Structure 1
Amino acid sequence: MTQDVKNQSGTTPVWTRLNDSEKEEVMGLAGEYRQFISAAKTERETIELAVKTAQDRGFVPLEQKDALQPGERVFATWRGKCMALAIVGSEPLEKGINVVGAHVDSPRLDLKPQPLYEEADLAMLKTQYYGGIKKYHWVGIPLALHGVVVKEDGRVLKVVIGERETEPVFTIADLLPHLAREQMEKKMAEGISGEALSILAGGLPVTSNEVREKIKQAVLDYLNREYGVQEEDFISAEIEAVPAWPARDVGVDGSLVGGYGQDDRVSVYTTLKAIADISNPPRTAVALFVDKEEIGSTGNTGMYSTFFTNFVAELAARIVPRYSELVLRRTLASSRAISADVNAGLDPNYPDVMDKLNAARLGHGVVLTKYTGAAGKKGANDAHAEFMGLVRHLFKRHGVAWQNGLLGKVDQGGGGTIAYLLALHGMDVVDCGVPLLGMHSPFEVAHKVDIYMAYRGYRAFLGG
């Protein structure tokens, strides 16, 4: 099977060019992926699941190794929100490493530090939205709460409410159309304010006459009874409201996967599986999972942090006999990277926002995106032609179906990835990922063939 770079109508979907064995692989991988994103709805949950998968596939904590030999498999995490895995290559480290990097965070609603209040005989939770969302997406749907609460004595309590069928869910009630005349005359972005995204949390009061806010107290009593959480503990908590549904097959043929958080956990899953399935690469292979991409890659777990460079430095110190900072700089500058992130697929309902000649189509393979950014390529990495040629050749040699794709028409909007932050080290970088419909919505849609081809593309790159 060969690649299909054309994007115009009339090109054949990849499925028609797969043999029976490959079709079985597509469906099998998609089933595993669906379970992954149903279980990994926060950054911490994603990293926990990635660590378990890595350990099952022979990766050991880097800190347990004083020296490393070709073929050894190691990993490191930081703050429970980012992770790097490596397989040591046979070539000298200074010739460069192959990196595939994805992000583990997704748009959502975070509980504020003091979220709980009572109004109109209902208990409510205040939220702060995280990342680029359409606020109206988050009203009128079932929500679950996921996160951690850190007690004053340092104990970490995990909280998950709303995922089991026997548990209640949460929601944000929408305004009824009978009274929404003024709301519906507003611009879509103004129809629901950020402060109106308060979650319905309870409606039964405690019986005590000594308590003024009886319904709020009933919620606190439940949290204390079930999780040992008191009101002050919200100050040192990270609790996220996410859709309370699992990923599902979409379409009568089951060709698509719909679910929350596919931007960018589809890249996390395919990258994790790719590095787990290779052995003895010539160049050291690194899978990188970072946080905070949706809000600018900030903080000590985002791509702006030193986590990645520290990880490579720790590798180099265990591989190179006479390690120095110069070795680190040479290694990074000689490296190659794929920024594994999703792109927009051509949506039949909204074709006018896309340049059809340069638009990715679902079912046509993984998307190579030469540049992202906005307007005049602001914030773009813009991969060099030589590196684009190298990746094209690699994918062709390994039978990876791929396509060209840009993020919409010029001046229509835009977006970015971690590519430019990897490129700061001097390495060549290109964006490459799965096309989605409904990106940043609570129910994003991907094609199973594209997920499979992302896995094969990342595996070829890491092993090449």
Structure 2
Amino acid sequence: MTTLTAPGRAAARAHADDLADFVAASPSSFHAAAEVARRLAGAGFTALDEAAGWPAQPGGRFFVVRDGAVIAWVVPEAAGAQTGVHVFGAHSDSPALALKPQPTTGRAGWLQVGVEIYGGPLLNSWLDRELRLAGRLVLDDGTTVLADTGPLLRLPQLAIHLDREANDHLALHKQTQTQPVWGLGRPESADILAELAASAGTAASRIRGYDIVTADSARGAVFGKDDAFFAAGRLDDLASVHAGVVALAAVEPTEHIAMLAVFDHEEVGSATRSGAAGPFLQDVLERIRLALGADREQQLRALSSSWCISSDVGHSVHPNYTDKHDPLVQPLLGSGPILKINANQRYATDAPGTAAWNALCAAAGVHSQEFVSNNAVPCGSTIGPITATRLGIRTTDVGIPILSMHSARELAGVSDLHDLSRAAATFFGG
């Protein structure tokens, strides 16, 4: 476990407290993108419009938002047509329950909402929590507004007296047992869209479309011996997004363009206009190059000297399930960020990337751990292989170790959160 000095412990705690604010402000991917934009604007970054021309101002700081995704970058004073890019990639979405069409429903005197499952949540972790509804509403004049109801819903668990075998095999039916309650009465007498509209300061009659998800409403908290732990919803992957925002806001790059790329829809495959498999990053990189006067040859040369760090959470060894992990490589929460390795390229890390990451962490004064899966428990994947495939850019997969991944409330190490941001700052600064 990482041993911190008193100043180091204070800095890590301050970072975790700020992450709690960030998570609270980001109940949906659209809110996360808006919060990233708000913070960067406060740090002197200029918002760009995809429909307008873009400047190539040396020393400039810019960002652009596309739906629930945002890309931000800092152009060094000496930037030219072949200047490389250091991209720190993450994603804004998290597993959740998404609002269906005709969402106001209910039975037996209860008001409920119709939802479908987004991504791969641990469904039982959503039981007996106060949930928010949050996301975007598109209105009759074409404008988009953000909505956030605050605590409104709950998915109540069946009492043990009515299911004596619940502790032996709890499994929720994905259609009939995942519909939250939000009030009492008859469905025809209420409208969940009216609640969403009111939270956005508009009328339900104006809503023409929506992308709304549930989110745990409890605030992130530091706890445990020596304040070692941080628990919150949506740490997968807001912990990485926050680390990148904090690092980029303070960076002064000298030899390359420093870039934060936050994508949506990673939890469902990334194949959207705002996902990592879509054209967003490639579009932004090409427009930056064109603004810097690069031809096609110079654009390709710049990519060859660029590097992407794909940052997403990974698994800490679990003390109650050690057999699920590799018997030797067992990263521990609180012992530093992880380098994610997979022989079948579910992660993009290779030998050059490993060497570069280890050198970067040494320069940042950060201890890094390796992560590899148990051969009998295949791992998931990340935006890393997607980015490497789309752009041909050198890519390395990293993150922080956590427990309870895809739970409504996940568990991280306070020191790891801060160390990831320190590594990102070194990566951006060169």
TM-score normalised over the length of structure 1 = 0.85
1:94 deviation in Å?
Answer: 2.3
Give the 5 Å matches for 1:137-176: 137-163=125-151, 169-176=152-159
State the 1:356 CA deviation.
Answer: 4.1
1:51 matched to 2:37? The reply is yes
Distance verdict in 2 for CA 1:356–1:231, change over 3 Å: farther
Shift of 1:175: 2.0
**Does the CA contact (< 8 Å) of 2:111 and 2:183 recur in 1?**
yes
2:382 corresponds to 1:421: no
Residue of structure 2 in register with 1:178 after alignment: 161
In the TM superposition, residue 161 of structure 1 has moved relative to its aligned partner by 1.7
Shift of 1:442: 0.9
Partner of 2:2: 14
| Offset at residue 401 of structure 1 (A) | 1.7
SS at match of 1:422: helix
Q: Which amino acid aligns with 2:39?
A: T
Paired letter, 2:296? E
Q: What's 1:127 paired with?
A: 115
Of the structure 1 ranges 343-352 and 235-244, higher mean CA displacement relative to structure 2 is found in 235-244
Is 2:222–2:414's contact at 8 Å kept on the other side of the alignment? no
- 1-structure distance, mates of 2:175, 2:254: 48
Amino acid at match of 2:233: Y
Cα offset for 1:225? 6.5
Alignment check: 8 A CA contact 1:339 1:429 kept: yes
SS of 2:226's partner is coil
Residue matched to 1:311? 284
Aligned residues of 2:103 and 2:192 also touching (Cα < 8 A): no
Q: State the distance in 1 between where 2:116 and 2:279 align.
A: 27
Q: How many residues align?
A: 424
Q: Quick one: which of 332, 356, 365 aligns to 1:361?
A: 332
- 1:410 is matched with 375
The aligned amino acid for 1:180 is: D
Distance 1:73 1:261 in 2: 28
Question: Residue 229 and residue 173 in structure 1: after superposition, are their counterparts in 2 closer, same or farther (change >3 A)?
Answer: farther
Q: Secondary structure at the match of 1:301?
A: coil
The residue aligned with 1:330 is 301
CA distance in structure 1 between the partners assigned to 2:74 and 2:101 by the alignment:
40
CA distance 1:56–1:135, shift in 2 (3 Å):
same
Q: Which residue of 1 aligns with 2:69?
A: 82
CA distance in 2, matches of 1:242, 1:278: 32
Cα deviation for residue 325 of structure 1 reads: 3.0
- 8 Å contact from structure 1 (residues 381, 429) kept in 2: no
Structure 1, gaps ≥5 residues long: 1-12, 164-168, 205-213, 372-376
Change (3 A) 1:458 1:157: closer
Alpha-carbon distance in 2 for matches of 1:145, 1:70: 42
Residue 398 of structure 1: aligned partner:
364
Which amino acid in 2 is paired with 1:459?
A
TM superposition shift of 1:254: 2.2
3-state SS of 2:7 partner = helix
User: Structure 1 residues 111 and 379, CA, compared in 2 at 3 Å: closer, same or farther?
Assistant: farther
Report the alpha carbon displacement of residue 32 of structure 1 after superposing the two structures with TM: 1.0
User: Matched residues in 2 for 1:53 and 1:67: separation?
Assistant: 21
Secondary structure of 2:18 counterpart: helix
8 Å contact kept, 1:123–1:219: no
Q: SS of 1:253's equivalent?
A: helix
Per the alignment, do residues 148 and 386 of structure 1 end up closer, same or farther by CA in structure 2, a change over 3 Å counting? closer
Q: Which runs of 5+ in 2 are unaligned?
A: none
What SS does structure 1 have at the residue aligned with 2:355? helix
Q: Measured at CA, do residues 272 and 184 of structure 1 come closer, stay the same or move farther in structure 2, by a change above 3 Å?
A: same
Q: 1:281 aligned to 2:254? A: yes
Partners in 1 of 2:12 and 2:249 — Cα distance? 17
Tell me how far 1:38 sits from its aligned partner: 1.7
**Which letter does structure 2 place at the counterpart of 1:419?**
G
Structure with bigger gyration radius = 1
Relative to structure 2, which stretch is displaced further, 49-58 or 112-121? 112-121
Give the superposition deviation at 1:231.
7.5
Report matched runs for 1:100-249 at 5 Å: 100-163=88-151, 169-180=152-163, 188=170, 190-204=171-185, 214-219=186-191, 223=195, 228-230=202-204, 233=207, 236-249=209-222
CA distance in 1, matches of 2:28, 2:63: 20
Q: Percent identity?
A: 25
SS at match of 1:273: helix
Are the counterparts in 2 of residues 380 and 416 from structure 1 also a CA contact under 8 Å?
A: yes
Distance in 2 of aligned mates of 1:216 and 1:345 = 47
Aligned partners of 2:206, 2:60: CA distance in 1, in Å? 46
Higher alpha-carbon deviation: 99-108 or 69-78: 69-78
Q: Deviations over 1:93-145 (max 9, x none)?
A: 52521111000000011110121123112221111111111222222221111
Inter-CA distance 280–428: structure 2 relative to 1 (3 Å threshold): closer
Give the secondary-structure state (helix, strand or coil) at the position aligned to 2:99. Answer: strand
Using structure 2 for the length normalisation, give the TM-score: 0.92
Letter in 2 for 1:414: C
Displacement, 1:253? 3.1
Compute the displacement of 1:52 (Å).
0.9
Pair 1:380 & 2:346 matched: yes
* Kept in 2: contact 1:250–1:257 (CA 8 A): yes
2:428 maps to what in 1?
A: 462
- 8 Å Cα contact 1:82-1:301 kept in structure 2: yes
Equivalent residue letter for 2:179: S
In the alignment, the residues of structure 1 paired with residue 54 and residue 123 of structure 2 have an alpha-carbon distance, to the nearest angstrom, of 50
Whole-Å separation in 2 of the counterparts to 1:336 and 1:220: 45
Letter of the structure 2 residue corresponding to residue 309 of structure 1: Q
**Pairwise CA distance, 1:230:** 3.7
Once residues 443 and 139 of structure 1 are traced to their aligned partners in structure 2, the CA distance between those partners, rounded to angstroms, is 11
Separation of aligned partners in 1, 2:131 and 2:147:
14
- Equivalent residues of 1:249, 1:258 under 8 A apart: yes
